């Protein structure tokens, strides 16, 4: 491996530091993330009136999935910019939707695949709400979480054109690190989770104001998740390889 296994609290501290650096050095990127977060929240508010917070029909689920897919598409340039900033020190001057780049295409398709995978645990409720449904949902949730966390280093590898950026290499590089990665995410995201829970309790889960605040907080959550993935890539990448030709790695410290 590229280094020792990452420490939980040190990794959380680095992720928060990286996000503050992104805010200072790439304000346009964070503003774009906030605007997209608010736009997604506004669309979600409209959908809430039509189908409820948790759609019970397949059509309702597909409608919300289509909105989320579009949101992920427009977020892809921001994901790439933050990954490249943390790993190779590249400062993006603004929002650039470079659809023609193979890097953009691969990143978006992999993001879409993980999102589609994350929806699998919700499928059993389409067939009922009994004990089997609960057990199936729980089991599928663990499987999806295991796969997703083991693949977390794939995305920064794609962002910096690492020569071995592939699903199998990502799995190999994170072997034996599932619980450590899980712990890093929990510790890093805990303050954000507390804020979201506070908003939901004070304003209500279906309130428009609550959804808008949640949209803003989600922008911070995404930036943190990207920073975590980037730092894990820097520590764990072996088979994935280091940044591609032409990239100068400056974010390993």
In a domain, 241, yes or no: no
In a domain, 253, yes or no: no
pLDDT at 252: 40
In a domain, 202, yes or no: yes
Query: Among 10-24, 42-56, 71-85, 150-164, whose mean pLDDT is lowest?
Result: 42-56
Domain range for residue 159? 8-236
Q: In the chain, how many domains are there?
A: 1
In a domain, 1, yes or no: no
In a domain, 250, yes or no: no
SS (H, E, C) 105-170: HHHHHHHHHHHHHHCHHHHHHHHCCCHHHHHHHHHHHHHHHHHHHHCCCHHHHHHCCCCCCCHHHH
Cα–Cα distances in angstroms (integers) from residue 247 to residues 18, 54, 163, 250, in the given order: 19, 44, 12, 9
Q: Which pLDDT band holds residue 185 (cuts at 50, 70, 90)? A: very high
Q: Which pLDDT band holds residue 58 (cuts at 50, 70, 90)? A: low
In a domain, 46, yes or no: yes
In a domain, 188, yes or no: yes
In a domain, 81, yes or no: yes
In the numeric block, the tokens 């004070």 are attached to 202
CB 81 within 8 A of CB 28: no
């Amino acid at each position: 491996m590229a280094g020792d296994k990452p420490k939980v609290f040190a990794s959380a501290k680095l992720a928060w530091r990286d996000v503050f650096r992104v805010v200072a050095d790439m304000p346009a990127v964070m503003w774009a993330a906030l605007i997209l977060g608010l736009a997604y929240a506004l669309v979600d508010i409209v959908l809430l009136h039509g189908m409820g917070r948790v759609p019970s029909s397949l059509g309702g689920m597909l409608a919300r999935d289509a909105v989320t897919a579009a949101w992920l598409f427009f977020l892809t340039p921001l994901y790439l910019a933050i990954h490249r900033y943390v790993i190779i020190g590249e400062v993006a001057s603004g929002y650039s939707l470079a659809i023609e780049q193979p890097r953009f295409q691969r990143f978006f398709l992999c993001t879409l695949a993980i999102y589609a995978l994350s929806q699998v645990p919700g499928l059993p409720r389409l067939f009922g709400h009994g004990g089997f449904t609960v057990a199936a949902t729980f089991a599928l949730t663990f499987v999806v979480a295991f796969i997703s966390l083991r693949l977390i280093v794939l995305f920064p590898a794609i962002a910096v054109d690492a020569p071995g950026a592939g699903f199998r290499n990502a799995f190999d590089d994170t072997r034996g690190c599932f619980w450590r990665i899980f712990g890093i995410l929990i510790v890093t995201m805990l303050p954000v989770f507390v804020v979201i829970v506070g908003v939901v309790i004070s304003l209500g889960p279906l309130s428009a104001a609550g959804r808008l605040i949640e949209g803003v907080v989600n922008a911070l959550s995404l930036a943190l998740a990207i920073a975590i993935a980037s730092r894990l890539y820097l520590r764990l990448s072996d088979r994935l390889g280091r940044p591609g030709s032409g990239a100068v790695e400056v974010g390993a410290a």
